Amino acid sequence: MKMRRQRVDKKKFIRFIVIIAFVAAVIITVVSSLNSISEKTIKIGLCESSRPLTYTDDRKNIAGFEADYARLLAEKLDKKPEFKLYAPDEMAAALDSGAIDCAVSVRQSVHDYISGAFETSPFISYGVVFTISPDDESIYGEEDIDGKRVGLIANSDSEQLCEELLTQYSFNVRLYDFEVQPFQDLKLKKNDIVISDELYAHYMQKEDPDSYLVLDSIYYLSDFGVRLSKKLSQQTIYDIEETVYSMRSEAAVISLFLDWFGVDLSYME
């Protein structure tokens, strides 16, 4: 028994092939377009707190030193920054999942949460310092702390330093919840000394040099780099690392430090 051959309409077949090829071309174009957008954007995680680090200004723009540094980093990488704000305990998951490409933070409390993420070479170095009133000629260093009223933030490196100093000296301690509070009381002459991180101390001195003077001694010096997502390619990780490293001595970065803190806190090897 012979099977009948089915006739194939060559015109319909050719039309079908053309349609398939067209659809494939559209898909390739769309995917390439999406990849192109992705390659031109860097997703940067920030932790909102207050001036001078990361905050939302009156125009609802993300501002502060960390945001400005992140913008400069994106510019050097020839990418458009896309900012995402997280609480410190949310940042690690965002890096692990690839929701962000990197995290820019200069706070130890944030880095404690994201310590498992790759960190670039450091770009900033600072410690804990004493701030006094400029007209107070009785305090030049820790040896003058006896009998003084000392304000600081609870659960911080400042409190750890305070506990160490209390083993050698006797002074009155006042703990605060917010960074600005001990400085306000220093200005009102309710504190004689504020122990705080160097960033906020220099920021306050820059904003009001008639009320605040940062002493030279620095304790617990720490340095921080940019944290990177594990989802990034090795080439991208290398590019960011090289860019962070090369930016350390650039005038634009030094200018950022001077604009926000009045001193250059760039990491120096």
How far out from the chain centre does Cα 54 lie? 8
Task: State how far the Cα of 196 lies from the Cα of 130, in Å rounded to an integer.
Answer: 7
Q: What is the structure's pLDDT at 1?
A: 47
Q: What is the structure's pLDDT at 26?
A: 43
- What tokens does 67 get? 């945001």
| Torsion region of 98: left, alpha or beta (phi above 0 gives left; psi -120 to 50 gives alpha) | left
Cβ neighbours of residue 198 under 8 Å, at least 6 residues apart?
Answer: 126, 127, 128, 129, 214, 218, 265
Q: What is the structure's pLDDT at 29?
A: 41
Burial class (CB in 10 A: 0-12, 13-18, 19+), 189: exposed
Domain ranges of the chain: 42-123+225-261, 126-221
Burial class (CB in 10 A: 0-12, 13-18, 19+), 257: buried
Taking each helix axis as running N to C, give the angle between helix 65-76 and helix 251-261, from 0 to 180 degrees, rounded to the nearest 10: 170
Residues in the chain, pLDDT under 70: 1-38
Can the peptide bond before residue 209 be classed as cis, meaning omega within 30 degrees of 0?
no
CATH superfamily of 126-221: Periplasmic binding protein-like II (3.40.190.10)
Q: What is the structure's pLDDT at 168?
A: 96
The CATH number for 42-123+225-261, chosen from 3.40.1010.20, 3.40.50.1000, 3.40.190.10, 3.40.50.300, is 3.40.190.10
- What tokens does 190 get? 């309710």
**Predicted model pTM:** 0.83
Q: What are the C-alpha distances in Å from 87 to residues 45, 54, 108, 165, 178?
A: 10, 12, 14, 32, 17
- Identical topology for domains 42-123+225-261 and 126-221: yes
Count of Cβ atoms closer than 10 Å to residue 259 Cβ: 12
